[in-house]
């Protein structure tokens, strides 16, 4: 049994073959991590699987509802409310079909639809509200055409989750959500009832969710059982075996070619089979070489002891403080991770450090002749109408690298841009390819201060590791705004946490910042608890920690909600049954109507309590 089966899927764009015979089966409950280099065809494959893009060859069979989070989602409707309500259309159709089956006395279909409603819940509004709150979705009356790219993606992610498809396909779901939301998404996907196909650079998410890894390699799907860590080990072993087989093939070709060249008998009819074997060996597709490149951001120049200093810097907009009295010193070798919720002021800090915006008050001091390089999350600095060649060299044929002139084509080759890609328009590049091009330009600047805003967005796992190694060896200072938990944990020497209302605190690590936040929430709860012991009110804090009894209550709530929804469905079914209103019926319609209202109130109260406890569970 499967929810999706793809056979011999092929796709090409012009002369570029992306998929050359992909086979993939996804069964109910599968958790598949889809990996591969930027440009290998992961996003193309997802769109083909979802039916948004036709394959050139091959077949895709679908046996259930599919939901896709695209990298560039298109939202229906004029407002956020329209987009979200559209995502719940499946549920309303399910309810309508159920009532229609009851009216038609089609008991078998009604039972099937009731099972589906029992599975997904008879009411979904509270689930929608909880998902939107955790993802930081904009207000419902916000206009879709005025949303930023990140806001649109958060709305699209919420739509994908609440649509509850049999197969949920997510392309980089952690882009543009903060670390708290990523933690929540990880928990949500781990417990998701349907199947999941996940493309992500977030290694913590991939490790926690995926139970099987499928790599798009040389246009085909290679399946690996186990977690992401298991995949890394098994893949390394497989590559060793493949290289050994490839070496044997090349040696055999050399031997057979040498025999054919020196032996006149080789042209006799008797030896045709041997020549055919030589042709077959030559026709075999060569083993694809693992793409690799190096990124060296070091300048090697003499550095001052201090790169940049901030003294009591304050910055805000419309009387909203984003930075309040920030004092900070960065020295060569410092890699400061900046963490906090969306909208807290992290990008504003980068603009102040770059000199793009002045502080409202306080002092900013820079080292003499300090060069600053910026990589922003919108990937600005590239002109979509430029060719890759022009974007890298600014129109020149050579760039200066390490004091030596290097031809642009050779330089771009180091960043995995083949010769045929040099005339390609920047606007036609994928998000990961644009990021790789910007990293190449970053390498040329020789900057003493790097300001990186969400640098891991759209990067494949290879490029991510290369960037990590380059930053670990970097001899300047770096300020890195990132929600990528694994990246911050590995690269950053310390972190600056935005804690609300312009307050920032420096910690030794991200984990220390999380522990401090948990301690503050626990203390706040301890202070407030006596005042709310008799009439507890829903917490407005995202995470305030749970007592033991609350943890037990949270664990029991799903069963209580399921029972309450089942009771609501039972009463609703009775009210929908024509025999209820016939003389002599064992049921009182007025009593049932009151019972239905009570059941709906109980379901709503339980969902509200679940949302409150779950939001504070951390």
Q: What is the pLDDT of residues 600-610, one digit of tens each?
A: 778 778 877 87
Separation between Cα atoms, residue 366 and residue 385, nearest integer Å: 35
Nearest to 336 by CA among 435, 469, 436, 449: 449
Instruction: State both tokens at 305.
Output: 């002891």
Find the range with the poorest average confidence among 118-127, 355-364, 380-389. Answer: 118-127
Asked if residues 609 and 546 have their Cβ atoms less than 8 Å apart, the reply is no
| Complete domains list, the chain, with CATH | 1-65+165-249 (3.40.50.300), 308-508 (3.40.50.300), 548-616 (1.10.287)
pLDDT number for residue 543: 43
- How deeply is 481 buried, as exposed, middle or buried, from its count of CB atoms within 10 A (0-12, 13-18, 19+)? buried
Dihedral in degrees, nearest 10, Cα atoms 130, 131, 136, 141: -80
DSSP calls for 91-130: HHHHHHHHHHHHHTT-HHHHHHHHHHHHHH-S--HHHHHH
Confidence of residue 358 (pLDDT cuts 50, 70, 90): very high
Of the two residues 192 and 543, the one the predictor is more confident about is 192
Cα angle: 585, vertex 587, 592; to 5 degrees: 145
Instruction: State both tokens at 33.
Output: 């991590």
Q: Quick one: which H or E segment has residue 326?
A: strand 320-330
Q: Residue 279 above 70 pLDDT?
A: no
Find the range with the poorest average confidence among 33-37, 399-403, 439-443, 468-472. Answer: 399-403
- Per DSSP, 15 falls in state T
Confidence of residue 415 (pLDDT cuts 50, 70, 90): confident
Q: Residue 198 above 90 pLDDT?
A: yes
Q: Residue 157 above 90 pLDDT?
A: yes
Separation between Cα atoms, residue 246 and residue 285, nearest integer Å: 10
Q: What is the mean pLDDT of residues 431-446?
A: 83
Q: What is the mean pLDDT of residues 531-552?
A: 53
| pTM > 0.85 | no
Nearest to 212 by CA among 33, 37, 36: 33
Angle between helices 89-103 and 107-120 (to 10 degrees): 150
For 438-459, b/e burial (b = at least 16 CB within 10 A) is bbbbbbbebbbbbbbbbbbbbb
Sheet containing strand 16-26, edge to edge, reads 16-26, 4-13, 57-62
Separation between Cα atoms, residue 458 and residue 419, nearest integer Å: 23
R_g over Cα of the chain = 29
Of the two residues 103 and 318, the one the predictor is more confident about is 103
Q: What is the mean pLDDT of residues 26-34?
A: 95
Q: What is the mean pLDDT of residues 135-155?
A: 89
Q: Residue 583 above 70 pLDDT?
A: no
Q: What is the mean pLDDT of residues 592-599?
A: 73
pLDDT number for residue 589: 64
By DSSP bridging, strand 57-62 and strand 4-13 are: antiparallel
Q: Give the range with max mean pLDDT: 289-293, 509-513, 516-520.
A: 509-513
Q: What is the mean pLDDT of residues 100-113?
A: 84
- How deeply is 14 buried, as exposed, middle or buried, from its count of CB atoms within 10 A (0-12, 13-18, 19+)? exposed
Asked if residues 476 and 427 have their Cβ atoms less than 8 Å apart, the reply is no
pLDDT number for residue 541: 42
Instruction: State both tokens at 266.
Output: 């080789």
Q: What is the mean pLDDT of residues 137-141?
A: 90
pLDDT number for residue 431: 75
Confidence of residue 129 (pLDDT cuts 50, 70, 90): confident
Separation between Cα atoms, residue 616 and residue 618, nearest integer Å: 6
By DSSP bridging, strand 494-498 and strand 361-366 are: unpaired
Residues 6+ apart with CB under 8 A from 39: 18, 430, 432, 433
């Amino acid at each position: 049994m499967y929810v999706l089966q793809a056979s011999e899927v092929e796709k090409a764009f012009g002369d570029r073959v992306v998929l050359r015979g992909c086979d993939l089966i996804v069964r109910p409950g599968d958790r598949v991590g889809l990996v591969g280099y930027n440009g290998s065809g992961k996003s193309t494959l997802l769109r083909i699987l979802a039916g948004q893009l036709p394959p050139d060859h091959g077949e895709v069979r679908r046996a259930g509802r599919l939901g896709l989070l695209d990298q560039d989602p298109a939202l229906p409707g004029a407002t956020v409310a329209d987009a979200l309500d559209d995502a719940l259309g499946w549920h309303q159709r399910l309810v309508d079909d159920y009532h229609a089956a009851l009216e038609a006395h089609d008991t078998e279909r009604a039972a099937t639809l009731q099972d589906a409603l029992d599975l997904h819940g008879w009411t979904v509004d509270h689930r929608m509200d909880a998902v939107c709150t955790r993802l930081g979705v904009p207000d419902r009356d916000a206009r879709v055409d005025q949303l930023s790219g990140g806001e649109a993606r958060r709305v699209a992610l919420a739509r994908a989750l609440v649509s509850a498809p049999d197969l949920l396909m997510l392309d980089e779901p952690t882009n543009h959500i903060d670390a708290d939301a990523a933690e929540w998404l990880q928990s949500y996907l781990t417990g998701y009832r349907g199947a999941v196909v996940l493309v992500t650079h977030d290694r913590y998410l991939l490790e926690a969710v995926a139970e099987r890894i499928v790599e798009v390699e040389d246009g085909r799907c290679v399946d690996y059982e186990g977690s992401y860590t298991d995949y890394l080990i098994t893949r390394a072993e497989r590559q060793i075996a493949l290289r050994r087989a490839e070496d044997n093939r090349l040696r055999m070709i050399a031997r057979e070619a040498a025999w054919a060249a020196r032996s006149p008998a080789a042209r006799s009819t008797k030896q045709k089979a041997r020549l055919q074997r030589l042709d077959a060996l030559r026709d075999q597709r060569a083993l694809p070489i693992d793409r690799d490149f190096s990124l060296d951001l070091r300048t090697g120049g003499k550095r001052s002891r201090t790169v940049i200093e901030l003294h009591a810097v304050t910055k805000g907009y419309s009387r909203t403080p984003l930075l309040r009295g920030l004092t900070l010193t960065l020295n060569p070798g410092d890699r400061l991770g900046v963490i906090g919720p969306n909208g807290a002021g992290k990008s504003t800090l980068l603009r102040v450090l770059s000199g793009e915006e002045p502080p409202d008050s306080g002092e900013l001091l820079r080292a003499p002749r300090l060069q600053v390089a910026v990589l922003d999350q919108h990937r600005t600095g590239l002109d979509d109408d430029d060719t890759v060649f022009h974007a890298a060299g600014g129109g020149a044929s050579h760039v200066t690298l390490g004091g030596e002139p290097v031809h642009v084509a050779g330089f771009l080759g180091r960043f995995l841009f083949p010769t045929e890609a040099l005339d390609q328009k920047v606007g036609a590049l994928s998000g990961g390819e644009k990021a790789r091009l910007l990293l190449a330009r970053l390498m040329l600047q020789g900057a003493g201060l790097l300001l990186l805003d969400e640098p891991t967005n759209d990067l494949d796992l290879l490029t991510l590791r290369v960037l990590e190694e380059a930053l670990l060896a970097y001899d300047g200072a770096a300020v890195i705004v990132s929600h990528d938990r694994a990246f911050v944990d590995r690269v950053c020497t310390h972190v600056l946490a935005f804690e609300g209302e312009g307050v920032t605190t420096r910690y030794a690590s991200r984990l220390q910042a999380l522990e401090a936040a948990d301690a503050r929430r626990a203390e706040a709860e301890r202070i407030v608890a006596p005042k709310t012991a008799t009439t507890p009110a829903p917490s407005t804090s995202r995470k305030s920690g749970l007592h033991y009894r609350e943890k037990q209550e949270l664990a029991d709530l799903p069963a209580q909600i399921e029972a309450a929804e089942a009771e609501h469905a039972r009463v609703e079914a009775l009210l929908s049954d024509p025999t209820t209103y016939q003389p002599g019926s064992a049921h009182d319609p007025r009593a049932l109507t009151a019972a239905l209202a009570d059941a709906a109130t109980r379901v709503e109260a339980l969902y509200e309590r679940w949302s409150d406890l779950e939001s504070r569970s951390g």
